[in-house]
A and B are shown apart, each in its own frame.
Chain A
Amino acid sequence: MSDAENATAFSFWSDAFAQRLHHFDHISPRDRSSAATVREVIENEVDAIKKALLAVYTRRNALLPVHILPPEILARIFQFLTIMDQPGDITRVKTKRLVSLGWIASVTHVCRYWRQVALDIPRLWGRISLRLGSRWSDEMIARSKSAPLTIAQSLQSEIHGVDVTHILPSHLSHVGELWLTGSLGRVLPLLGVPAPLLETLALVSHHTSSDPAPLLILISQSHRLRCIVLEIFRSRGPLSQQDISYAWTLHISPSLLQSRTT
């Protein structure tokens, strides 16, 4: 834009502002009551200008190379980010524990268009980040709509965020991938129901004494299951040779599963 064009634009917007406020020109600062009213009016005008400016930024953004990508391409990019940049990393700043939002911040904090695209893709939200706490896990489940959920948690003694046992009872029917490691004692009893969307089940535990019957129900009644990884040692104390003989490790490939069902 040339200097002349710049000057014209400036003159246009200055005139518009002056015109909006010209009937307050005669107000004196000594007239305290009127001055206060005018100050408020001016504040409102400034807010309106800021809002209008944001709309101008949206138009400017729409012309950038990155914005000419259609939503279906952005969806592919965002999908990779959900795996590469998972939420939940914890950093400490003074006494505060900050949990990283990972891809959620990368995608939804940048601009309106990206946020809208992300909100319109339910499957992005299906990878539930339990470490962000219940507000976020509830929000992600709601945004995932009917897309299958992916739930992954390490069941250590100290769990940061939402305990998976609070999620599973009401959402197992909606889970597409379930990855759990650690002590499965509290989880196994919750699994004895069909999970019609479940495609991947991975359970790794080196010390569980729970009854595996619910697990067998889950496996036999979840007809979309095509990847099962189970490494479960039944043990009550430190691992011994005898414990290892009780261990069962099962990896089922899609072809094996197909032969089972035919």
Chain B
Amino acid sequence: MPTIVSVDDSTVPGEGSSRLLLLVSSDNKHIVVEEDIMSRSRFISKQVEGFEATSQRHAILLPFSSFVLNKVIEYCSHYRGYYLLEDDPDAAPPGRSPVREWDQEFLDVDRNMLLRIIKAAHYLEIKSLVGSCARAIADMIRGKTTEEMREILGVENDFTPEEEHSPSSKCTG
């Protein structure tokens, strides 16, 4: 369950069609954003439904930094009003469809930032952003040797010699 805190109406203004949400990041930054923009997030939509049921307005506390949250808001703002097939709960994960050019530029960030964004997108249940990040990470990894991969990811080899050769040892013909 997400943590929520009550806020008064002066903190979160807005009634009617252009309601505003107050999102609070882990570094305690308060970010006001239009509800429409964040409707791509199933997590936020469920929170808002909860507010309507109780007639109470709340700030939504999120477990990631304002820097990451602002990136996610930027993504949601860009696609505001667009239907993206990947956000359809019944859609199969896209495999061969081309990567959107804007997404490619948007995700041209360092490795750790990319990992933070995908985690935030997963938490907020934004399937299209999870998919774009996953593709960007896959792109970063593909074609690399095991040693290069370990170096990129900072991972130590933790296989025993027996595990190292099974189940995926090299095939020669």
Contacts and interface: CB of A to CB of B under 8 A. Distances in A.
Chain A, interface residues (CB within 8 Å), range: 35 or more
B119 interface: yes
Given A65-B115, A105-B168, A70 B122 contact: yes
Interface residues of B, number: 41
Contact of B142 (A55, A103, A111): A103
Given A54-B159, A97-B173, A111-B157, A80 B144 contact: no
Contact of A80 (B95, B150, B168): B95
A101 B170 contact: yes
B146 A80 contact: no
B142 A66 contact: no
B160 A54 contact: yes
Contacts of A90: 173
Interface stretch (A1-9, A130-138, A232-240): A130-138
Most chain-B Cβ atoms within 10 A of its Cβ — which of A76, A98, A135, A136? Answer: A76
Contacts of A96: 172-173
Interface string A104-143: 1110111110010001000000000000110110010000
B52 interface: no
B163 A69 contact: no
B92 to A, nearest CB: 10
A51 interface: yes
Most chain-A Cβ atoms within 10 A of its Cβ — which of B115, B118, B138? Answer: B138
A105 B141 CA distance: 11
A83 to B, nearest CB: 5
A97 B134 CA distance: 32
Contacts, number: 123
B134 A108 contact: no
Nearest to B173: A97
Given A64-B153, A77-B141, A81-B141, A58 B168 contact: no
Given A73-B134, A106-B141, A112-B163, A133 B173 contact: yes
Contacts of B170: 98, 101, 105
Given A81-B138, A133-B173, A76 B130 contact: yes
A76 B144 contact: no
A80 B99 CA distance: 11
A66 B158 contact: no
B118 A58 contact: no
B142 A135 contact: no
Interface string A38-60: 00000000000001001101101
Interface string A80-91: 110111000010
Contacts of B173: 90, 96-99, 133, 160
Contact of B171 (A76, A109, A136): A136
A66 B115 contact: yes
Contacts of A104: 168
10 contacts: A54-B158, A54-B159, A57-B157, A68-B115, A76-B134, A83-B95, A85-B142, A109-B146, A110-B146, A160-B173
Interface of B: 93, 95-96, 111-112, 115-116, 118-119, 122, 130-131, 134-135, 137-139, 141-146, 149-150, 153-160, 163-164, 167-168, 170-173
Interface of A: 51, 54-55, 57-58, 60-61, 64-70, 72-73, 76-81, 83-85, 90, 96-99, 101, 103-106, 108-112, 115, 119, 132-133, 135-136, 139, 160
Given A84-B138, A103-B142, 5 more contacts: A85-B141, A105-B145, A105-B170, A108-B168, A160-B173
